[in-house]
Chains A and B, each alone.
Chain A
Amino acid sequence: MIQKLKQQNFLVLIPVLIMSCVAFVLTLVGVLLYTNNCASEFNGGKVSVNVSNLGLAAIIFAGAALLLDLLALFLSRSKKSASLFALSRIGNYGAFIFCLGAFLYEALDEYSLIGTIMYPIFSGTVGDPVEPLLVSSYFTSFAFLFVACFLSLAAGVTMRKKSHKIDAQPKEANVNE
């Protein structure tokens, strides 16, 4: 019984850990790419405060979730502690919401840049040149935040399922022994 629970726990935690880890890295890299490389003539040399702040919040939440997931993997020895560590999903949810905000603001506050990049595609002409580093940084950041959003949510939802399973277990079960 205990062995089965341990296996189940491991099977749940590892994917969650991976998702949380990837989401954290993507959020971190996405925000860094934006803040470091996307100050341009399209935003007057200043990146969006909304994106930076929301991005920072997302990083903190994603980091917290990741930390708790790691702790859960190595330290949860009882139903009680497992249940407590399963709250890492709060971090995932927070990361999801803030990441979503950062993503949306990155589109809104950089509409000039997007317009200039997309213009040649819709007009059929060459268009105004935009620095390749700026384009690649922006779209990479954009894509990373988008993916991180859903990975955070997926990690949170998975963790929530685990939480329900833990709640359904008998009181005395030691899941990691």
Chain B
Amino acid sequence: MNKDSKLFHVLKAKCWEPLMVTMGALFMVSMVAKAAAVPFANEIHGVFGTSDYKEETAEGEGTVIDRHPLKNAENIEAYYRQVNAEVEGEGLVLLKNEADALPLASGSKVAFALSGSGKIFYATHGPGVRRDGEADGAFYDLRKSLAEETDLIINDATYNFVKDGAGKTMRGIKSGTFVMNEPGWNVYAPVVNEYNDATVIVTITRESGEGSDISYTGSDGVDGSYLSLTHNEIEILENLALLKHQGKVKKIVVLINSAVNVRCDFIDDDRYGIDAAMWIGLPGATGMKSVADALVGKINPSGRLADTFVKDNFSSPAAQYWKNNAGFSSEYGNAAAIGLNNSQLYYGVYVEGIYVGYRYYETRYEDVVTNRNQVGNFKYSDAVAYPFGYGMSYTDFEYSNPRLQVNRDGEGNVLSYDYTVNVKNVGDTAGKEAVQVYLQKPYSRHDVIVGIEKSAVELAGFGKTSLLQPGANEDVKVTVDFEQLRTYDAEADKTYILDEGDYYLSFGRDSHDALNNILAAKGYSAATDEPGIATLANLIHSQNEVDAEIFSTSSARLHDTPTTLEKDPVGTPITNHLDWMDPNRFKGVKNAASSDGDVTYVSRNNWTGTMPKDAVDLQVTNKSPIKYDISSHKPIVEQEGAAMPTFGDKSVPMTLAMMAGLSYDDPKWDIILNNLTQEEIFNTLVQCYGYTPGIPSIAKPLTDEDDGPYGVSNTKEGFSSMSCEAVIAGTFNKELIRKVGEAMASDARSNHDPAQKNLHGLYAPGMNIHRAVFGGRAAEYFSEDPYLTAIAAQEEIIAMQEQYVVACPKHFIFNDEESNRNGIGIWMNEQTAREIYLAPWETALRPDKANSHSLMTSFNRAGFLWTSASSDLMEDIMRGEWGFDGYTLTDMAGSNGKFFMVYDDGFMNGTDCFLDKGEYKDSMTDAMRKSPTFNLKQRECMKRLLYTVANYSGAMNGYSNATRLVPQVVPWRVGIDALMYVTGISFGLMALIFVAYQITKRLPE
């Protein structure tokens, strides 16, 4: 080539080389963007408001499905804020009110102490609800609430001091431990005089959140835990008490701003001079308004504690286990020797058995009263500050005329008990009363011999009066199902039994009051710490001998239709399914700390001998059969006669709308499932990352979902933060709890946020148990009590689903603590599993109860098995015994559980959908692809998902048989593709030019 030619000069131009590099870099970026668009397509669609297909419905064809939001969609923000305030107002608990210190008189002066007063902890860390919105006015802080709701004279100097001054909060996390870092009294010098003639509001705040438990040691609380007062907090309380003693401070009012019990040994301690105390939980965006209202009497507190508030947070057997084992999770003793991976290392044993929360304190108390052997040195009043169900009011109520009605079927079998009492407001302030009914089941000789445990009392029902004016009265009827009398016998009969002995129902202001009433009825009045009222307790049933038949079969129907409920005519036998998660029955582990290799469970037959004293040292013995061993990716066992299902048969094209209203067993399901390809099924089930994907070929819409134990997550407006679940449960008001579900569902289906409009599912409510007070995620769960948890969840679920928002309660199951939750193995006996932890889920999932259409499984294991990969839990109990026919969804499998939250194990054992971003070509192994059994399982998973969407999801709103999902051009996808092709080709071209130039210039002239 002539080096003077035009072409050579073109090749020689300086621009080609940088262009080549730029194009190369852009090509690489576009390749990665293209790859990212696969797992993050829905998120990108959310940003741009696009979709891969559009809905098209030919006019005049078929019935259009109408699933509009039913309620309150017009002004959701105002409604939501109102429900938040209402719930807080009925859920906050007045713990102490000496000499009617509250309500505060009009025009009283209020001042503030402790940093919590300036920085309320509104909502827990973890769910995506907004946790702070003071700056833009979305959240009501204490001062704003008092200013707007009351005529109290607010001392701004002290408020500013604790909010932004030297007294402000420095709480946070230090080396993985929650610490308060509360400033000491020494910094209060500038504001001491401001407390003169004031009522001082002292707010004790404790944070908690997802992913870690509350620090039980290493914190700055006086007992080393985060849940006791720090030395500086004590010092401030003492000095305020001194000021009060000197006549300067008028009153001291404590607010406890924590989802769980702050060690409550200080409230009645004279050194602190506390006049009144109120537990406010986590109040959400607008809850503080109600706190202000309660302080001045515009609201009369009627909330009741959903947990026992104790004087020593280590006094329960579950907390003792923590102490003994240096935390909730321990490493298997021989973990290193046998080479366990990260997800297999840890375990936790529920040694307390059924004695969780008040079940421990009340039962041991009864055994003291009745002088049972081996009860040991136990004094109720030393242990418990405020019993479960406790709460004061500004008025007094009198219970009278208790009446019991036994409801029977046509054959005379008992169905339920209606227990009614007349409640009269005998005070001078209008108020509501939470009426609680507790059940005592007999602790029989049979139980002692066999090894069954019984709680002295358990909550069996509750109701709430309307707002009773002074002098007014109202009958409150509480219905208790006969089924609640059952006990699980994992040892002898291996099913639910009706135990021998006497059964009592009692009204009670709290668990302790009810027990005292029962003890009075049993003739133990002289030994009780408070006089019981025998007439409020009633012997409802006496059983001469154990009946192991009556509750041994589940009557839940197999599958419902959207309009009818069909009881299973035969019933599913109920028997042991969880022997493999009891270390004493399962040979895969042993307790190396005991001579016989067994774990000692707490038993009321021998309190002193069975209360946790030593650490449990579980070791893996590797003798477990393959089904229950700790490995993942267990071999797929082919079912006899299993044949590969049909895929992609479009000979009878169908759309999902055609299936709406059909029963689960309708043969048309086979036809629509035949329409789907293997890839469509697999990809749908493994890409449920906050949604269930749309399937254009059968016109299944994408259903959008989000997190939301107590509020819809990730909304921009920030009003969706509700009070924490313990406050919601603490209302003891079913109608109000239903309003919470209604508000959340309305919010979910409203279009208030372009990025999150019209959700069709919520990962709510949270349903795990407040097993030990240090559980990090307690704010997302209701209570220590399974019945209260069950009913609160039931009301929320029903309300949500009425508005076609599919409830997805979480986390099934045994996810009661956070430490090493990714794969930790939870061990317990089957009675405990069924009566405490599974019981609320039975209510939530049974079609004849809450009928939740979905659920989320947990990160942890039961024994060695990931909970979602246990056919005993997911199929035999959940679907077999309870008749659940919704779909199950894992927790974030795509996040941090890829060692054990695996597709083959999950799909083979009852998991339907994975909260993940899997992909057919990468994730479906040959073994899965070619296995008839695996594909039949996935087909059933798909059927459950489609059945739920077709019949219950708001995503089908406006669909008809003729609705089609037509693929459409998505600008950002086109952009990525264009960028990739243009830069790729340009890069190639530039490279050629570069090479051509380099060669040409070296050629001889």
* Contacting residues, chain A, for B896 (C-beta < 8 A): 41-42, 112-113, 116, 128
| A residues near B210, Cβ cutoff 8 Å | 123, 125, 127
Please measure, in the bound complex, the distance between the C-alpha atom of A115 and the C-alpha atom of B614, giving whole angstroms.
38
Q: Are B25 and A127 in contact (CB under 8 A)?
A: no
Q: How large is the interface on B (under 10, 10 to 19, 20 to 34, 35 or more residues)?
A: 35 or more
CB distance from A102 to the nearest CB of B (A): 9
Task: Determine how close the nearest CB of chain B comes to the CB of A177; give it in whole angstroms.
Answer: 21
Q: Which A residues touch B823, using CB under 8 A? A: 41
- A10 within 8 A of partner (CB): no
Are A97 and B895 in contact (CB-based, < 8 A)?
A: no
**For residue B39, which residues in chain A have a CB less than 8 angstroms away from its CB?**
111
Chain A residues bordering chain B, tally (CB within 8 A) = 39
Q: A45-B898, A93-B24, A101-B32 are in contact. Are A164 and B822 (CB under 8 A)?
A: no
Contact with A along B466-481 (1 / 0, CB 8 A): 0000000000000000
Could you tell me the distance in whole angstroms from the C-beta of B996 to the nearest C-beta in chain A? 14
Interface residues of A in 101-140 (CB under 8 A from B): 101, 104-105, 108, 111-113, 115-116, 119-120, 123-129, 131
Contact at A44–B20, with CB atoms within 8 Å? no
Q: Provided the pairs A108-B35, A125-B126 are in contact, do residues A164 and B14 lie with their beta carbons within 8 angstroms?
A: yes
Question: Given B21, B131, B211, which contacts A128 in the complex, CB threshold below 8 Å?
Answer: B211
CB distance from B516 to the nearest CB of A (A): 40
A124 to B212, CA, bound (A): 11
> Separation in Å of the B897 CB from the closest CB of chain A?
7
B861 nearest CB across to chain A (Å): 13
- Kindly report which residue of chain A lies nearest to residue B343, judged by CB atoms: A41
A100, B212: Cβ atoms closer than 8 Å: no
Is B28 located at the chain interface by the 8 A CB criterion?
yes
Q: A101 contacts which of B20, B31, B208, B209 (Cβ < 8 Å)?
A: B31
A87 to B998, CA, bound (A): 9
Kindly list chain B residues whose C-beta atoms are within 8 Å of the C-beta of A104. Answer: 28-29, 32
* CA–CA, A126 and B213, complex, Å: 9
Give the distance to chain B from A80, nearest Cβ to Cβ, in Å. 8
Known: A42-B898, A115-B895, A116-B896. A125 touches B211 (CB 8 A): yes
A55 within 8 A of partner (CB): no
Evaluate whether A131 and B342 lie within 8 angstroms (CB atoms) in the complex, with A125-B211, A126-B176 already known. Answer: yes
**Does A66 reach chain B (CB closer than 8 Å)?**
no
Interface residues in A34-76 (C-beta closer than 8 Å to B): 40-45, 50
Q: A-facing mask of B166-199, CB < 8 A → 1, else 0?
A: 0000001100111000000000000000000000
Q: Once the chains are docked, how many angstroms separate the CA of A59 from the CA of B297?
A: 73
Complex Cα distance, B998 from A160, in Å, reads 13
Chain B residues near A97 (CB, 8 Å)?
21, 24-25, 27-28
Whether A101 and B126, one on each chain, are in contact in the complex, defined by CB atoms closer than 8 angstroms, is: no
With A97-B28, A108-B32, A115-B895: A126-B178 Cβ-Cβ less than 8 Å? yes
Among A108, A119, A128, the most chain B Cβ lie within 10 Å of the Cβ of A128
When C-beta atoms are compared, the residue in chain A nearest to B821 turns out to be: A128
A21 to chain B, nearest CB (A): 20
Whether the pair A128, B212 counts as a contact (CB closer than 8 A) is yes
Complex Cα distance A125/B27, Å? 39
Tell me the complex Cα distance, A116–B894, Å: 11
Q: How far in angstroms is the closest Cβ of chain A from B340?
A: 12
Q: Is A153 an interface residue (CB 8 A)?
A: yes
Q: Which residue of A lies closest to B178 (CB)?
A: A126
CA distance in complex: A83, B35 (Å): 39
B17 CB contact (under 8 Å) in A45, A50, A160: A160
In the complex, chain B residues whose CB is within 8 Å of the CB of A100: 25, 28-29
Q: Evaluate contact between A156 and B21: CB separation under 8 angstroms.
A: yes
Residue among B20, B32, B126, B776 making CB contact with A105, cutoff 8 Å = B32
Query: What separation, in Å, do the CA atoms of A131 and B899 have in the docked complex?
Result: 15
Question: What is the minimal beta-carbon distance from A78 to any residue of chain B, in angstroms?
Answer: 12
Q: In the complex, how many angstroms separate the beta carbon of A47 from the nearest chain B beta carbon?
A: 12
**Chain B: minimal CB distance from A118 (Å):** 12
Residues of B within 8 A of A40 (CB): 342
Interface residue ranges of B119-134 to A (CB < 8 Å): 125-126, 131
> How far does the alpha carbon of A123 sit from the alpha carbon of B905 in the complex, in Å?
32
**Would you call A96 an interface residue if the criterion is a C-beta within 8 Å of the partner chain's C-beta atoms?**
yes
Which residues of chain B come closer than 8 Å to A44, judged between CB atoms? 898-899, 902
Mask, A74-86, CB within 8 Å of B = 1, is 0000001001000
Q: Judging by beta carbons under 8 Å apart, are B898 and A112 in contact?
A: yes
Q: Report yes or no: A126 in contact with B173, Cβ–Cβ below 8 A.
A: yes
A124 to B39 alpha-carbon distance, docked (Å): 27
Q: In the complex, A127 Cα to B24 Cα: how many Å? A: 39
B820 at the interface (CB under 8 A from A): yes
In the complex, A123 Cα to B896 Cα: how many Å? 17
| Residue ID in chain A nearest B900 by CB atoms | A41
CB distance from A149 to the nearest CB of B (A): 9
- B898 near A127 with CB under 8 A, answer no
List, in ascending order, chain A residues with CB within 8 A of B131's CB. 124
Whole-angstrom CA separation of A65 from B14 in the bound complex: 21
B173 cross-chain contacts in A, Cβ below 8 A: 120, 124-126
A36 vs B597: C-alpha distance in the bound complex, in angstroms?
39
Please report which residues of chain B, range 225-278, place their CB below 8 angstroms from some CB of chain A when the two chains form the complex.
none
> Nearest CB to that of B342 among chain A residues?
A41
CB-contact partner of B894 in A108, A112, A127, under 8 A: A112
CB distance from A94 to the nearest CB of B (A): 8
B36 at the interface (CB under 8 A from A): yes
B779 to chain A, nearest CB (A): 11
Docked complex Cα distance between A126 and B219 (Å): 13
Q: Which B residues are in CB contact (< 8 Å) with A160?
A: 17
Contacts A97-B28, A101-B31, A105-B35; A129 near B820 (Cβ below 8 A): yes
Contacts of B35 in A (CB 8 A): 50, 105, 108
Docked CA distance A40–B900 (Å)? 11
The distance in angstroms between the C-alpha atoms of A153 and B14, with both chains bound, is 17
For residue A80, which residue of chain B has the nearest CB?
Answer: B1002
A66 to B707, CA, bound (A): 51
Given the complex of chains A and B, what is the CA–CA distance between A124 and B178 in angstroms?
10
* CB of B239, distance to nearest CB on chain A (Å): 30
A119 touching B342, Cβ below 8 Å: no
Q: Nearest Cβ distance between residue A84 and chain B, in whole angstroms?
A: 8
Chain A residues with CB under 8 A of B24: 93, 96-97
Q: Which of B14, B29, B211, B897 contacts A120 (CB 8 A)?
A: B211
Complex alpha-carbon distance, A124 and B209, angstroms:
8
For residue B36, which residues in chain A have a CB less than 8 angstroms away from its CB? 108
Q: Which residue of A lies closest to B211 (CB)?
A: A127
For the complex, give the distance between the alpha carbons of A101 and B27 in Å.
Answer: 9
Q: CA–CA, A112 to B915, complex, Å? A: 12
A40, A113, A164: most-surrounded residue (chain B CB, <10 A): A40
B899, closest chain A residue (CB): A41
Q: How far is the CA of A40 from the CA of B17 in the complex (A)?
A: 40
Give the complex CA separation of A113 and B822 in angstroms.
13
Contact indicator per residue, chain B 1-40, by CB within 8 Å of chain A (1) or not (0): 0000000000000100100110011011101100110010
Chain A residues near B125 (CB, 8 Å)?
A: 123-125
What mask results when residues 885 to 916 of chain B are scored 1 for a CB within 8 Å of chain A, else 0? 00000001011111110100000000000000
Closest to A131 in B: B342
What are 25 inter-chain pairs, A to B, with CB distance below 8 A? A41-B822, A41-B897, A41-B900, A42-B896, A44-B902, A45-B898, A45-B899, A80-B1002, A96-B24, A97-B21, A100-B25, A101-B31, A105-B35, A111-B39, A116-B895, A123-B126, A123-B211, A125-B125, A125-B173, A126-B211, A126-B212, A126-B776, A128-B821, A128-B822, A128-B896
Given pairs A41-B822, A97-B27, A111-B39, 15 additional interface contacts (CB within 8 A): A41-B342, A41-B900, A42-B896, A44-B899, A83-B1002, A93-B20, A96-B21, A104-B29, A104-B32, A116-B895, A120-B173, A125-B209, A125-B776, A127-B210, A128-B211
Contacts from B to A (Cβ < 8 Å): 14, 17, 20-21, 24-25, 27-29, 31-32, 35-36, 39, 125-126, 131, 172-173, 176-178, 207-212, 341-343, 776, 820-823, 892, 894-900, 902, 998, 1001-1002
**Ordered nearest first, which 8 A-B pairs have the shortest CB separation?**
A126-B212, A125-B209, A125-B125, A44-B898, A127-B211, A104-B32, A101-B28, A41-B899
